[in-house]
Amino acid sequence: MISVYKGEIYMKMTNLKPLYDDMRVNNQMVINFPFNYNSKAYTCLFEIISRPFKLQIATVGKNPVLFEFDVLPGFFIKPYLELEEFHRLVRILGIRYDPNHIFKLNDFLRVLNKRIPQNCGEAKKLQNAAIRKRKKMFKNTDKEIFIGWYTNPPGNHVSDYNYLTTKEHFGSVYADYLKSINTSTRWSTRIVNATDKKH
């Protein structure tokens, strides 16, 4: 839903509200869920630790690409990416020129909003099924294929190996950010996904 927020055009992600409410009930500050668009797989992370909240969408595969949106009070997202980022998204989505409809970021966000799970249980079920499918898809490769995120339970934290792998693929700023919200990246190779117990 397109709305005016503080004098600017924003997209109201209405389906984040019930998910957020259930996250608060279950004391879950980070949630992951899969998303498909144009028959291509993506993975999403919604976290309510930062201010503003963050909604992230990443491609699944060897060279993952991340897109991040601030979620403002009322679950408003500014439907804007830098031109280079927008063109990259268009290429990734496989959008072809259509003289009858010029693709806009709103189109992508509108579909995403419809597919946001309504609660933590649904998100976990969808994510687990997607991870199993991706592990099976990439089981014969020894390369580091990005397949999603994993929020570490209390008592565990991001391993050094996972941190370094995240840093290699996403950069140090993002690796530090994930470590601050105790979330690991997930890869096709088992060793990278290991977590360390706190001592």
Say whether pLDDT at 180 is over 90.
yes
H/E stretch holding 183: strand 183-187
Among 79, 55, 56, 68, residue whose Cα is nearest residue 2? 79
Mean pLDDT lowest for which of 39-53, 113-127, 136-150, 168-182? 136-150
pLDDT higher than threshold 80 for residue 121? yes
Looking at residue 127, its pLDDT comes to 94
When divided into structural domains, the chain yields a total of 1
pLDDT confidence of 8, banded at 50, 70, 90? confident
State mean pLDDT over 20-38: 96
Residue 67 domain boundaries: 2-197
pTM of the complete model: 0.89
Q: Identity (one letter) of the amino acid at 92?
A: I
What 3-state DSSP class applies to 29? coil
pLDDT: is 98 or 155 the higher one? 155
DSSP state letter for 118: S
Residue with tokens 């966000």: 109
| Token pair for 97 | 């020129």
pLDDT in tens, 136-146: 888 777 778 99
